[in-house]
Structure 1
Amino acid sequence: MSLFDTIRNTIVPVHKEGYPFVAAFFVASLVLGWLFKPLFWIGLILTLWCAYFFRDPERMTPQDDDLVISPADGRVSSIQKMVPPAELGLGSDEMLRISVFMNVFNCHVNRMPMRGRITHITYTEGSFLNAELDKASQENERNGVVVETSHGDIGVVQIAGLVARRIVCWVHPDEPIEAGERFGLIRFGSRLDVFLPAGAQPRVSLGQTAIAGETVLAEFGALKGPVIAKRS
């Protein structure tokens, strides 16, 4: 069994996007340890942190088309009405925007907040400001995904931050997608914005910890009974 299989199966599930980084950290640990033995142990700790950063645990996602599920692990950093970025093509009216800020210790695999069909994806170059700043939504490097849902089009924006320098998106236009389904990843610390049309009511508070694929960020209408969760 390889080092990566051992990490994936016995320590924490690791997404394949993280394999090259875990390998690089481990090789660097060996080289540094050859030069000065105590550095090996420091490098090994950093290798384990890298594996932890790229963890990809299973989640139980509520299955209800009226619910908006968190696309990221992290802290709810903003709940307000904002005009969405122009590149999303969602118009010039304000929409409910809920932001989730991820630090370097959060799981960074991103999940789709609602079931629907992807209409278009737009990547925009920009700055690398602190992702917690409000202006990061308009100025930072970002990747916007627009999804057609039963309640109208929503926008899901992956935003790079001070440390993050790589946004990964695995989905494509015209592709159907389920709530809780993995669609991307950001390395290493950043933010996810969700833009929602009229009718969405927040179900989280500022500062609340959100779990990707599980935490309900907002809701359209009232719940109509028990919600079934699906493992993803």
Structure 2
Amino acid sequence: MTIHKEGYKSILITVIIFAVINLLSFYFISYSTPWLSWLIFILTLGLTLFIVSFFRIPARQLTKNENQVICPADGKVVVIEEIIDEEYFKGKRLQVSIFMSPANVHVNRNPLSGEVVYSQYHKGKYLVAWNPKSSTENERHSVVIRYPKGEILVKQIAGALAKRIVNYLTVGQKVEQGSELGFIKFGSRVDVLLPVGTKVNVELNQVVQGGVTVLATI
């Protein structure tokens, strides 16, 4: 397991806060109320370990297959339905959405290899990520990857806790399946818009792994 680069600053700040709080607690509280000092230590240690865990990148054998779309994120499948995409395709698409809890790995990966032909950030609200309106009303970043058989859109969506979306892709860039697409801090959702009729390999409420679980066959 390694730590993602997006976490360096957050982890450093958390460790400094942990150290300062516990030094003050030890100096001013531990002598008169030792149990309170220990409680503060346990709570702040738990928070520090959670922040470190949030930015983890576990060692995995990534799935690579040019005929498959791989899940771009860890989490649970919460939507599989046909929708009308007004942003890019201007027509029907098959949407598969993955909800990411704060406990999930939060690095996002390219679901297939191809060329980035669209990349757009949208300001918006911070509705809870499982709200259907979050796909079109929340802060989000959409990218479209063109592959030999067509195009898919991947949408990173901010949630009630997620306040920062990081996307690494630019128009014209060639991307490899499984390489990093971006990162969303502190829980959110990723939508994948596929051509109608695509064979979906996941089910509602299925727990998936980014870069590993096969989302669809193309």
TM-score (norm 2): 0.91
Q: Which runs of 5+ in 1 are unaligned?
A: 1-11, 221-232
| 1:20 matched residue in structure 2 | 9
Summarize deviations over 1:3-44 as a string: whole Å, max 9, x none. xxxxxxxxx311011011111111111111122243233222
Which residue of 82, 107, 110 corresponds with 1:109? 107
In the alignment, the residues of structure 2 paired with residue 48 and residue 126 of structure 1 have an alpha-carbon distance, to the nearest angstrom, of 31
Deviation at 1:145, TM superposition (A): 0.5
Matched, 1:41 2:42: yes
Secondary structure of the equivalent of 1:23?
A: helix
Summarize deviations over 1:172-202 as a string: whole Å, max 9, x none. 1111111111110001000000001134111
In the alignment, the residues of structure 1 paired with residue 86 and residue 162 of structure 2 have an alpha-carbon distance, to the nearest angstrom, of 20
In the alignment, the residues of structure 2 paired with residue 27 and residue 128 of structure 1 have an alpha-carbon distance, to the nearest angstrom, of 29
CA RMSD, aligned part only? 1.2
Summarize deviations over 1:63-93 as a string: whole Å, max 9, x none. 222211000000000000012241xx222x2
In the alignment, the residues of structure 1 paired with residue 217 and residue 118 of structure 2 have an alpha-carbon distance, to the nearest angstrom, of 24
Q: Which amino acid aligns with 2:196?
A: A
Which residue of 115, 123, 126 corresponds with 2:124? 126
**Radius of gyration: which is bigger?**
2
Matched, 1:57 2:55: no
Bigger mean CA offset, 198-207 vs 151-160: 198-207
In the alignment, the residues of structure 2 paired with residue 155 and residue 58 of structure 1 have an alpha-carbon distance, to the nearest angstrom, of 27
Q: Which amino acid aligns with 2:93?
A: M
| 2:89 matched residue in structure 1 | 90
Q: Which runs of 5+ in 2 are unaligned?
A: 26-36
Structure 2 counterparts to residues 183-222 of structure 1, below 5 A:
183-220=181-218
Q: How many residues align?
A: 206
Q: Which amino acid aligns with 1:51?
A: V
TM-score (norm 1): 0.85
In the alignment, the residues of structure 1 paired with residue 143 and residue 125 of structure 2 have an alpha-carbon distance, to the nearest angstrom, of 19
Q: Which amino acid aligns with 2:76?
A: R
Bigger mean CA offset, 25-34 vs 158-167: 25-34
In the alignment, the residues of structure 1 paired with residue 86 and residue 59 of structure 2 have an alpha-carbon distance, to the nearest angstrom, of 31
Sequence identity percentage: 39
Secondary structure of the equivalent of 1:47?
A: helix
Bigger mean CA offset, 160-169 vs 143-152: 143-152
| 1:158 matched residue in structure 2 | 156
Deviation at 1:170, TM superposition (A): 1.3
| 1:171 matched residue in structure 2 | 169
In the alignment, the residues of structure 2 paired with residue 216 and residue 169 of structure 1 have an alpha-carbon distance, to the nearest angstrom, of 22
Indicate conservation of the 8 Å contact 2:11/2:52, yes or no.
yes
Secondary structure of the equivalent of 2:9?
A: helix
